[in-house]
Amino acid sequence: MRIPVVFLRALVVVSGTLVVAAVLPTATATATATATAKCAAALFTIKSGLPGAGTGYSQAKVAAKCSGSQLVVTSNGMPSYKFVAKTPNALKTQKWTWKVPLAPTRAAATTNINRKFGTIGFTVTGIPIYGPMEGPMPTEEAFGDPVYNGILDSCKGHTGPASEYHDHAIAAVARCGFAQTRVVGYALDGFPIYGPSTKAKSGYIKTGDPKKDSWAAYAYQASSDPKVLDECNGRTKADGSYGYYITETFPYIIGCYRGTPTTQSGAAAGPMPPMG
C-alpha cells in the first residue's frame, strides 16, 4: 500500500495489522488496512488545508478499516469546507458507521431506490449520500430534484431534518475534501462510485418537470453509445468489475442498486425524517 507523504503521521504494527494514522490541519482521517488486496481503507482521507465547516463546528473526521469480509467506515459527517446553509436545518455532528462487503456481487435483479429516503452510500470523505430527490416539503417542490431546484451548496450537499449534512450529487474536487477522485465513494451494496469520466454519461433523459417528483420527470433510455451507463448509473469494466459513476445529470450518482444493499445499523439504518 502506498501512503501519501502529506498525510503520514504515524505507522505502527498492531497485532499484525498495519495501521496508518493521518492527521490533517483542519480535519482528521484514519485508515486501518488489512493484508487483503481488496481493502480500500486507504482511500478514506480528507484533503489537507481546508477551512472546516466554520467557527464553532467540529472538524471533519473519517476512519476506515477492513474487518473480515467487510469494509467498515465511521464518520462524524462534518464537511471539511465552509458550511453554507441551504435549508432551514442546522448542522450537527453525527455518529455514522457503514459496513459493506469487500467483494460485492451483482444481484439477479436490480433494487430500486425510487422514493427511498436516507443513505444509499457514502463518500470517501465520510459524507452520507442520499438519492436524487427531496422529501414531501415544501409542497411545491415535493419529492423534487434537489440539483434542479438549486437547494444544494457548491459541493452538492445540504443539511436534513436531523441536522445531518449529506450529498445528493458529488463535486469531486479538492475544495470539497477529495484528496483523490478516482474512487469517490461506495454504495451500500459495496460497489465503488467512480469520479468524473469523459467516457461515462447518464442514460436518463428529462421527460417532465423535475421541480416535483424527480423520478417521474426522468426516464432511462438505453443506447448503443459505449459512454452511456446502465440504468443504475454504472457499468461493468473490461476486467469484469462493476462500479457506479458520478454524472453531471440525473441521477448524478446512483440510479438503482446493481448489487444487494446491506442492512445497516444505528444512525445509518434510519430513514430520512419527513421534511417540514
For residues 230-243, give the mean pLDDT. 96
Give the C-alpha distances (Å, rounded to integers) separating 106 from 15, 150, 159, 240, 260.
34, 34, 32, 11, 7
Q: So what's the pLDDT on residue 260?
A: 97
**Considering the entire predicted model, what is its pTM?**
0.86
| pLDDT tens per residue across span 135-181 | 888 899 999 999 999 999 999 999 999 999 999 999 999 999 999 99
Residue bearing the bigger pLDDT, 138 or 227? 227
Q: How confident is the model at residue 268 (pLDDT cuts 50, 70, 90)?
A: confident
128-130 and 119-123 strand pairing: antiparallel
CB 159 within 8 A of CB 172: no
For residues 99-113, give the mean pLDDT. 97
Domain boundaries, the chain: 5-269
| pLDDT tens per residue across span 197-217 | 999 999 999 999 999 999 999
Residue indicated by cell numbers 465552509: 82
| pLDDT tens per residue across span 43-77 | 999 999 999 999 999 999 999 999 999 999 999 99
Q: Report the C-alpha gap between 167 and 130 in whole angstroms.
A: 6
CB 147 within 8 A of CB 169: yes
